[in-house]
Amino acid sequence: MTRIIARPHELDLDSPGRRDYWVALEHDSTWGDHLMPLTVMVGPEPEPGKGLAATGANHGNEYEGPVAIKHLLREIRIEDVRGRLILIPVLNPAAFHGGTRESLEDDRVNLNRAFVDGAGVIPALAGITHRIAAFVRQYIWPRVHIMLDLHSGGKGHLFSPCSSFHEVDDPEQARIIEETARWFGTPFVMTYQNETPGLLTSEAERLGKITVGTELGWGETVSPVGVVYGRQGILAAAIRHGLLKGEVAPVGHHADGTQKRVAIVDRACFVPAPFPGHYEPLMSCGGYVKKGQTVGLLHDFYRIDELPWPVQAAVDGYVLCQASRAPVRQGLHILVVANEV
């Protein structure tokens, strides 16, 4: 396999066949380029505006997505592809190679907040991260109707694995999105609040695309089960939407009927730390709690003789997420409890 270095306008994302690229995006501060790995596979039945794009490393310290997609680059045979598949294991090389959530060594921007008006176009938003957002808008989204953006908890949060999406107005779009999300096999299928500006998934949903995100791991490690869920979700979406030949069977909690549909739309689901301290969990993610139940303790070691602050669930539901590191800063969401839908 030969991977070609190409500028965005030189990519062939439409002709039948497989092409492996390093997409060259100019570096902000040195004489060189950021190289984004992109593989496109186009079968004999592509339709204009139709296809699947799967991305990993939107945040640079989340690794299950990149690993799952990297495996699929070897596993998917071009002769089995019917439509268009665009696989990008590392969407944000600026953050990924620095091992950070944001592009700290470059423009210090979070890619999953960079899908804003003028990104990559106006001078104030011309850094590498906003130019990656512009690249997705100009070259990827016009060619796909399915967008899978694989995330993990990164450095700060411990998640029970979930696939995720926002509420959308179109009932048919909502139905297909939920069905696509369930095929990942995760224990939870989660709807979350849509108030945060600049999310990749929010804009893809507004464009009418079948859009699913995930949280597949934590702690800047690679969760084996998270990789399984990521690989499964991409393959299932490609096969079930007619873009790839083959058969796929349910896995995990989708297979055994234990998958739970939850939501964290209500801001009461989130418990921020009222002061910087050290978080002690008293239970694991995934368990059911009642409103008012103490899930963890926040310790202040500058006031060593005071009792720890009880971190209590503000709603009934499942512990979806907790702080993964003991030291937490003020305002960090140290507990997220999801309502069952």
Cβ contacts of 26 within 8 Å, gap of 6 or more: 33, 34, 128
* pLDDT at 2 (0 to 100): 87
Report the CATH number of the 268-340 domain.
2.40.50.100
Q: At the fourth CATH level, which superfamily is domain 3-264?
A: Zn peptidases (3.40.630.10)
Q: Which two tokens stand for residue 191?
A: 């709807």
Q: In the chain, what are the helix, strand and coil shares in percent, each to the nearest 5?
A: 25, 30, 45
* pLDDT at 30 (0 to 100): 83
Note whether 3-264 and 268-340 share their fold.
no
Q: Is 105 exposed, middle or buried (0-12, 13-18, 19+ CB in 10 A)?
A: middle
Q: What's the CA gap between 68 and 72, in Å, rounded?
A: 7
Q: Of all residues in the chain, what percent carry a pLDDT higher than 70?
A: 100
User: Mind listing the pLDDT tens digit for each residue in 291-323?
Assistant: 999 999 999 999 999 999 999 999 999 999 999
Cβ contacts of 32 within 8 Å, gap of 6 or more: none
Q: Which two tokens stand for residue 258?
A: 């234990």
* pLDDT at 35 (0 to 100): 97
Q: What is the mean pLDDT of each run of 10 residues along the chain (341 residues)?
A: 93 98 91 96 96 98 98 98 98 95 93 96 94 98 98 93 96 98 98 92 97 96 97 98 97 97 96 98 97 98 97 98 96 97 92
* pLDDT at 296 (0 to 100): 98
Q: Which two tokens stand for residue 74?
A: 């070897």
Residue boundaries of the structural domains of the chain: 3-264, 268-340
* pLDDT at 28 (0 to 100): 83
